[in-house]
Amino acid sequence: MVAEGDAPDHVEILERWTRGLQLLHVAHNIASERFNYWNRVTGITTAMLSAVVGTTLFASLSASGLTAVRVVAGASSLLTAALSAGQLVWSYPELAGRHQAAAVRYATLRRQVELRLANRGRVSATDVDVTSSEWEEIEQSAPQLPIGVRRRARRAIASAPPRA
């Protein structure tokens, strides 16, 4: 059993949680940006390869003796099909949107905690319980963060100038 004086106070708990919420907010923003980036890369690459395939097929029909042209056309066609299928499977726009929504919710909760901490003398167990419940609700709906995103978020936070 923990003695009353040994238990962390409610302000200390919320201060620690603020740092965790900041990390999750930044990490989900990074993940959203990453998935938006990969959506653009795969979309542009697929469009470019489709153009190459069309041009190459047209060229191979006019000069049917060029085996290399047909090989390039076939390989480009397979790569285009694979990227098109990948865009459907990876669903980058949906993932980006879900990460962005999670980032917004974590930012909102972080601001609420900061407002509670502004009244340090009035922080109670109820504030901690409400924050915990809201955090759990966000975590249940938030997508999983890719490996490395949390590390990148920690570096981004560590290199940011201190807040006033």
In contact, 92 and 48? CB cutoff 8 Å: no
Total domains in the chain come to 1
**Domain annotation covers residue 54:** yes
**Quick one: average pLDDT of 8-26?**
93
Is 70 exceeded by the pLDDT of residue 70? no
- Give residue 1's pLDDT: 35
In which domain, by residue range, is 114 found? 21-143
Q: Residue 158 carries which side chain, given as an amino acid letter?
A: A
**Domain annotation covers residue 161:** no
**Domain annotation covers residue 7:** no
User: Residue 62 is inside which H or E element, if any?
Assistant: helix 10-62
**Domain annotation covers residue 136:** yes
User: Residue 8 is inside which H or E element, if any?
Assistant: none
**Quick one: average pLDDT of 64-85?**
72
The pTM is what?
A: 0.74
91-124 pLDDT tens trace: 888 999 999 999 999 999 999 999 999 988 899 9
**Domain annotation covers residue 9:** no
**Domain annotation covers residue 41:** yes
3-state helix, strand, coil in the chain (%, to 5): 80, 0, 20
29-59 pLDDT tens trace: 999 999 999 888 888 888 777 777 777 666 6
Phi-psi region of 2 (alpha: psi -120 to 50; beta: other; left: phi over 0): beta
**Domain annotation covers residue 152:** no
User: Residue 143 is inside which H or E element, if any?
Assistant: none
Whole-angstrom distance, CA of residue 26 vs CA of residue 9: 26
**Domain annotation covers residue 135:** yes
